[in-house]
Amino acid sequence: MIDIHAHLCFGDYDKDLDEVIAKCKEELAGVIVGTARYEEGMKALSTVSKHPGFLFPTLGFHPTEGGKDPEKIMELIKSNSGKIVGVGEVGLDYHWEKDQEKQRIQKERFSKFIELAEKLSKPLVIHSWDAESECFEMVKNSKVKVIFHCFSGRRELAKEIVSRGFYISISTQVLFSKNIRKIAKDMPLDKLLLETDSPFLSPDKEKDPRNYPWNIKLSAEKIAEIKNISKEEILEKAKENAIRVFDLKIARA
């Protein structure tokens, strides 16, 4: 199995990152290490270099928490374009940003990252909280592969995104959100991608506030139930799709 979006380079794992990665290796074929800040991106580049064929980085800029210097991250992306498997997460966040002028700045920055992904022919991993249709409007004519990470928008929009040939990555939210379960139900198997967005979205916050990449198997169980097929088939399809979409050179597929 493959988790296509985990922030393993978040401070939450500073103390035991090696153990977490070792456990990932017992259970998964690969993990895409998503990033959204400069320091996180730097740490991801050095961490993944120690685990070739298993950890794969994407470099991005969070619309509200990415810092003040998106240009610096764009430079980092350009100078590491051979090492990364995607640009992201990047996008719009109108959940935390209600100010229209600041939303306009988010759009301006996002459009530069879209252009960069196009120039480098890299998949674009999108953060779209409460701005799902605005994000879709901005990318719908793009030629790059587009993945809406942790999508929590409307079911109808999800259908439109998928019929446009884009991807919606199903997070561990599927364990607690009815809306995400409906979206998962509609999702054709050849479009299915799974992610945890670790350390966020822990399936059981009281037991452990952190999430881990191997928890995609819990999502797969839930989706298997909804779609009435086996958990193994869900995990296998999601893995095949991840390898194809991100062109992953998996060491132990």
List residues near Zn ion by CB under 5 A: 34, 197
The length of the chain, given as a count of residues: 253
182/158 Cα distance (integer angstroms): 10
**Backbone φ, ψ for residue 203 (5° rounding):** -70, -25
Shortest distance (Å) from residue 5 CB to Zn ion: 6
Q: Which two tokens stand for residue 29?
A: 């074929």
Nearer to Zn ion among residue 88 and residue 214 (C-beta): 88
Q: What is the rounded end-to-end Cα distance, in angstroms, of the chain?
A: 9
Residues with Cβ within 8 Å of 176's Cβ and at least 6 positions away in sequence, in order, are: none
Cβ atoms of 69 and 98 closer than 8 Å = no
Nearer to Zn ion by Cβ, of 34 and 203: the residue is 34
Q: Which is nearer to Zn ion, 166 or 200 (CB)?
A: 200
Closest CB to Zn ion among residues 93, 223: 93
Q: What string of H, E and C letters represents the secondary structure of 171-220? A: CHHHHCCHHHHHHHHHCCHHHEEECCCCCCCCCCCCCCCCCCHHHHHHHH
CB of 197 to Zn ion, least distance (A): 5
Quote the least distance from Cβ 230 to Zn ion, whole Å: 28
**From the CB of 103, what's the least distance to Zn ion, in Å?**
20
Q: Which residue's structure tokens are 């793009």? A: 142
Query: Which residue lies nearer to Zn ion by CB, 64 or 224?
Result: 64
**What are the backbone dihedrals phi and psi of residue 57, each rounded to the nearest 5 degrees, phi first?**
-95, 150
Using CA atoms, how far apart are residues 12 and 35, in angstroms rounded to an integer?
14
Shortest approach of Zn ion to residue 224 CB, angstroms? 24
Q: How far is the CB of 57 from Zn ion (least distance, A)?
A: 13
Q: In terms of CB distance, is 150 or 192 closer to Zn ion?
A: 150
Q: Report the run of H or E that residue 88 belongs to, with start and end.
A: strand 86-91
